[in-house]
Amino acid sequence: MTLIKELNLRTCHKKVLKRTLFWGMFEAIIENQLSPTRCRKRGKMIIEIINTYDPVMGKFQVERESMELTCADMVSIFGISCGNQSVSLKYGCKEVKLVARREISESMLTSTSLKQLLKKYMGSDEKDDVEDVARLLCVYLFHTFSSRLEQWLN
């Protein structure tokens, strides 16, 4: 929440974020509809979110509704093209357009490095920069969830 508030997202960034599955969460933060005390990172909450995923349907079941991740969502969120080839999970893989385009060479992305990348591209109106801000925010979101989940599991 703090990072999103610090970034002062412009209309161009919000327009791209609206195309992601996470717009509802981003919008709630931007519009001050979330209480920071209710959004503290808790391992139990993350586990509950993960447990809503139905692998047979390929969707998250949220209050009797489904949230589907489509190929278009993967392209929009991560810049990953869907097809018959497996995506390499190796960090820094040049198959991920964002990594190649930004020449990201860190051995591991951290909260600090993600924040630096976000701030670097925030002021630009270039299409790739605006879209990469949205992608990086989604990566930051996953990074935050995964690091908290890892802490909780250990």
Q: What digits encode the pLDDT tens for the residues 57-87?
A: 777 776 655 556 666 665 665 555 556 666 5
In the chain, how many domains are there? 1
pTM, full prediction: 0.59
**In the chain, where does DSSP find H-type helix?**
2-7, 11-17, 23-30, 43-51, 71-78, 97-102, 111-121, 127-153
- 16 is in which domain, residue-wise? 2-33+42-153
Report the chain's C-alpha Rg in angstroms. 16
Q: How far apart are CA 108 and CA 53, in angstroms?
A: 27
121 DSSP β-pair partners: none
pLDDT lower than 50: segments of the chain: 92-94, 149, 154
Task: Give me the pLDDT at residue 93, please.
Answer: 47
The strand order across the sheet containing 53-54 reads: 53-54, 59-62, 65-68
The answer to whether the CB of 7 falls within 8 A of the CB of 118 is yes
Please give the C-alpha separations between residue 107 and each of 91, 92, 140, in angstroms, as whole numbers.
8, 8, 16
